[in-house]
């Protein structure tokens, strides 16, 4: 039997100490950790259960900022009235993720730490080569089944898609992750594979995410998350966009716009080129569609995922135009 030690942390301090132990992994909702342990991908020596730490599930939202505790459940955040009114894209990203059962278990901290759905990554028995799992072993996906793989931010080492939804909205609105001793932009918290596919997050041994902070803004208030996928529910994005929009007083000219992409990149992908191209421009379908194409600069496909290059800009454009229609 694969035995492991189980520790229950009752404070963040205790969790940090335990997390520093070699082979330690935190357990929050367990929906990623238990799943990966079953696949044989995660083999923790020590499981540090943080789910009982009090106060870490607080959700505090005002027009200025949202502070969401790492243990807040996805479903609670999605349903929170203030989140819905000040950060609709965050709520929408959450309720379109996973399934109701998973959302009731899963936490915000765990959500940021979820791993890629690359089927080769998840099947070590049959596919030993995977740079993300075993650095230097190669990439089984390249040359294989790549329909779900990334077209942006890929490297020769890894083309795995970042699968989550919430982080796309967080990146669009400049959210920060609170790691206790340091805070960093969620955008910087996620790392593109480069030559070190095994490093997905800028998190060090002994660090624990305690909260997510999202600054309020007019764009966050007028925001949406559009997720396109083969089936209507319970599937990761083929392509998704978190978009926020602020218009000038004329109700037509774009003052501020935020665009981030999911389902197409190796990390939550901020599409700054699209934002820059649209700032100061009128909200016009032609202009929006054309600008949205800029998101795909540098895209590289591996055959079966080619469709994403055409799809993603259309998702962005639809999301922006949809926001334009809502007064």
* Site of interaction with ligand FAD (CB under 6 A): 25-33, 35, 70, 74, 97-98, 102, 105-107, 109-111, 113-114, 164-166, 208-209, 236
Q: Which does 132 bind (CB under 5 to 8 A by kind): ligand SF4, ligand FAD, other proteins, none?
A: ligand SF4
Give yes or no for residue 284 binding other proteins (CB under 8 A): no
Residue identified by tokens 């999605």 is 78
Q: To the nearest whole angstrom, how small is the minimum distance from the Cβ of residue 297 to ligand FAD?
A: 25
Give yes or no for residue 307 binding other proteins (CB under 8 A): yes
Rg of the chain, C-alpha, whole Å: 19
DSSP SS3 for 184:
strand
Give yes or no for residue 6 binding other proteins (CB under 8 A): no
Give yes or no for residue 123 binding other proteins (CB under 8 A): yes
Q: Which does 28 bind (CB under 5 to 8 A by kind): ligand FAD, ligand SF4, other proteins, none?
A: ligand FAD
Give yes or no for residue 235 binding other proteins (CB under 8 A): yes
Q: To the nearest whole angstrom, how small is the minimum distance from the Cβ of residue 101 to other proteins?
A: 12
Residues 182-211, mask of contacts with other proteins (x by CB under 8 A):
------------------------------
Measure CA 258 to chain center: 16
Give yes or no for residue 277 binding ligand SF4 (CB under 6 A): no
Which parts of 108-137 interact with ligand SF4 (CB under 6 A)? 116, 118, 120-121, 130-132
Among the residue ranges 72-80, 85-93, 234-242, 268-276, the one whose residues contact other proteins (CB under 8 A): 234-242
Beta bridge pairs of residue 248: none
Q: What is the 3-state secondary structure (H, E, C) of 266-313?
A: CCCEECHHHHHHHCCCECCHHHHHHHHHHHHCCCCCCCCCCHHHHHHH
| Cβ proximity to ligand SF4, 258 vs 302, nearer residue | 302
The backbone region for 265, taken as left when phi is positive above 0, alpha when psi lies in -120 to 50, beta otherwise, is: beta
- CA 154/CA 139 separation, integer angstroms: 12
The single residue among 54, 64, 230, 286 that binds other proteins, judged by CB under 8 A, is 230
Beta bridge pairs of residue 270: 260
Give yes or no for residue 36 binding ligand SF4 (CB under 6 A): no
Q: What angle do CA 107, 131, 158 make, to 5 degrees?
A: 80
- CA 14/CA 36 separation, integer angstroms: 24
- CA 149/CA 238 separation, integer angstroms: 9
Q: Which residues contact 133 (CB under 8 A, 6 or more apart)?
A: 41, 121, 124, 198
* Residues of this chain that bind other proteins (CB under 8 A): 1-2, 40, 117, 119-120, 123, 125-127, 143-145, 147, 228-235, 238, 306-307, 310-311, 314-315, 317-318
Q: Where along the sequence are the contacts to ligand SF4 (CB under 6 A)?
A: 116, 118, 120-121, 130-132, 139-141, 158-160, 197
């Amino acid at each position: 039997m694969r035995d492991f030690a189980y520790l229950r942390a009752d404070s963040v301090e205790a969790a940090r100490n335990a997390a520093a132990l070699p082979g330690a992994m935190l357990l929050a909702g367990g929906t990623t950790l238990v799943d990966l342990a079953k696949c044989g991908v995660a083999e923790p020596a020590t499981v540090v259960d943080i789910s009982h730490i009090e106060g870490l599930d607080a959700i505090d939202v005002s027009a200025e900022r949202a502070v969401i505790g790492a243990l807040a459940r996805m479903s609670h955040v999605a349903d929170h009235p203030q989140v819905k009114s000040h950060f609709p894209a965050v709520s929408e990203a959450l309720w379109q993720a996973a399934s109701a059962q998973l959302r009731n278990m899963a936490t915000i901290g765990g959500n940021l730490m979820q791993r890629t759905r690359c089927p080769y990554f998840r099947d070590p028995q049959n596919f030993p080569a995977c740079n993300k799992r075993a650095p230097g072993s190669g990439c089984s996906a390249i040359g294989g089944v790549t329909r779900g793989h990334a077209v942006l931010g890929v490297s020769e080492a890894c083309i795995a898609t970042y699968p989550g939804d919430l982080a796309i909205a967080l990146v669009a609105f400049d959210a920060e992750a609170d790691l206790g001793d340091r805070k960093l932009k969620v955008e910087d918290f996620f790392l593109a594979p480069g030559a070190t596919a095994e490093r997905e997050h800028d998190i060090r041994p002994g660090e624990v995410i305690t909260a997510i902070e999202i600054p309020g803004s007019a764009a966050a208030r007028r925001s949406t998350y559009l997720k396109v996928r083969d089936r209507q529910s319970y599937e990761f994005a083929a392509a998704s966009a978190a978009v926020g929009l602020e218009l000038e007083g004329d109700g037509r000219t774009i003052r501020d716009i935020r665009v981030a992409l999911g389902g197409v990149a190796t990390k939550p992908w901020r599409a700054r080129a699209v934002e820059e191209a649209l700032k100061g421009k009128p909200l016009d379908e032609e202009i929006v569609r054309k600008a949205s194409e800029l998101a795909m600069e540098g895209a590289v496909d591996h055959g079966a995922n080619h469709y994403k290059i055409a799809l993603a800009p259309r998702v962005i454009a639809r999301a922006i135009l949809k926001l334009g229609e809502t007064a």
